A and B are shown apart, each in its own frame.
Chain A
């Protein structure tokens, strides 16, 4: 009996709520809806999800499809060809060279950047007259549009007009007009690419390190000095471990970025001489876009994927550890 009464009153309440809702204006109804946390939350993340789906997910899916199909610029929806593209790519001598170059380029750039970046950071931290001016000048390579910088470097490395060779000749390293053809010989061209890339990214590394080092309380370094640590010990045992998290994250970002970067290669040599200076990105671009072999280009790009995945996972894990800390 009591149950029946309760259900009756429930019904009465429900109809009352429904009636009240019916009386709301459309604007009020939207307001009510937005009060709902689930609705509002999904609304807020929707742009990010759309972005990922349209601009990351869709192209990635297409790339996967291109890899296993005979897609060309003239016929983007080609027939399914299985692993033919991948097999072709693996047999391609230029691709193998590009793959090796990518690793040489990335790793040596990063190493040189770290070493010189650290030295530059310490120099920038010293107190001297005009420090601000010097800091601004050091930042220039990072702010100059890379195309402009690359043109300047092309002139500096030009076989006939090379400033570098002129200086070298004046210093007696090689005869006048007999210096290396920087962009025309395989080894020299690779070295040039690495040097220009370091030139471009060194300011960033140096500034990140400067920020890291200057965040260490002065007293800690003084305490270490009093404990008997010389500058090398202070760097190795105190400063480097304290700023290690910053270095780690900057290095990961930089690695991932450099690994996929073709800017300097493209602007300096376009892969020449005889396709000896290609990195994966530039060779994939040449094969897939310039020559129109979308399938093969996609297959090449896919080789970047495992390395980037590992890099991304490490970054994510680092961020997670940080938020838990």
Chain B
């Protein structure tokens, strides 16, 4: 078990800065997810921890050991690759034991570890098979098994679920979590899928363009995104944004889009609200913070319904309020019909406000 610490890591490929001043501390036994759109530097960061890529500058510690100059095999880590990278000419047993043999682990111990891992992953009947005789899900398990039997200090996982079909991915997600609760090995998990990140991470590091945007728990990211990017990236369907100006209207500080006025949320109050006066901002409200009016509060608006997407447990409607369109998640019983007007209430107390220029969240 170990912590992993990245201090001011830079990685340049020619003129491109893939990772820009990344500092992160992954706690012992933590499941940390690195998430972001493709090309954000998350995989590069993971590969630098593995030692497959050398950072241009900065320090990486695994446990208390500075590993900058330690070759991958001596970093005491195991990695699960997106395409599994099983050895195609070896059967499952040999795939699992390859690394152990190289470390001269005694035969009985190798046998014990393989049996344990195989039972844990439900691949004990596949041990004699070659990778090409396995399904995608089985290969994925073998790849996990190969990491587990090593009993490393840290697991590194590079999009291990993205080659599975949707149903299997959900199931394997849960299995991975159970596995982590059992072996408790510190894990760094890379994904571009925010649902995977939210469901699996103890904490999540959101990256964009090589820059760490925010490091927080899933609840923290959802409730208080640090900037516009994180706000838009976390949550599905994504948060609605409208541009507007902060104005004093009838003694209340409001965001005015020109046609619609909504009050500032309580998180932007007092000094922050006064400081924001006159500024261009982006007002964000999540689709789930909009309801059909039922007298339980919220900011009332009258919306024209443009699209209704029926999902069974809910409907997602595209609503238009005087030229401002947004998505709302409503109950199927809310009676949303295309082309008709519907009174909605916005729970503006849970809204977010971002500076239009810096894109940072405004709060205070």
Contacts and interface: CB of A to CB of B under 8 A. Distances in A.
Same assembly: yes
A228 B105 CA distance: 12
Contacts, number: 57
Interface range, A side: 10 to 19
Nearest to B147: A226
Contacts of A224: 87, 98
A222 B81 contact: yes
A227 B73 contact: yes
A3 interface: no
A124 interface: no
Contacts of B88: 220, 242
A222 B75 CA distance: 14
A237 B103 CA distance: 15
B47 to A, nearest CB: 8
Contact of A238 (B50, B79, B87, B150): B87
Pick the most buried of A220, A227, A229, A241: most chain B CB atoms within 10 A of its CB.
A227
Contacts of A217: 83, 85
A217 B85 CA distance: 8
Contacts of B134: none
A242 B40 CA distance: 33
B338 interface: no
Interface string A203-230: 0000000000000010110111111110
Given A233-B102, A237-B98, A226 B89 contact: no
A226 B79 contact: yes
A237 to B, nearest CB: 7
Contacts of A237: 98
Contacts of B87: 220, 223-224, 238, 242
Interface range, B side: 20 to 34
Interface in B83-134: 83, 85-89, 98-99, 102-103
Main secondary structure of the interface of B (DSSP, over half): loop
B102 A222 contact: no
A226 B79 CA distance: 7
B85 A222 contact: yes
Contacts of A238: 87
Contacts of A223: 79, 81, 85-87, 146
Contacts of A229: 73, 98, 102
A237 B73 CA distance: 16
B243 to A, nearest CB: 44
B324 interface: no
Contacts of A222: 50, 52, 72, 79, 81, 85
Nearest to B152: A226
B246 interface: no
Interface of B: 50, 52, 71-73, 77-79, 81-83, 85-89, 98-99, 102-103, 146, 150
12 contacts: A219-B81, A219-B82, A219-B83, A222-B81, A223-B86, A225-B52, A226-B73, A226-B78, A227-B102, A238-B87, A242-B87, A244-B89
Given A223-B79, A226-B79, A241-B89, 6 more contacts: A222-B52, A222-B81, A225-B52, A227-B98, A227-B99, A237-B98
- 10 closest Cβ contacts across the A-B interface? A227-B99, A219-B85, A228-B73, A228-B102, A223-B85, A241-B89, A219-B81, A220-B85, A226-B72, A225-B72
Interface of A: 217, 219-220, 222-229, 233, 237-238, 241-242, 244
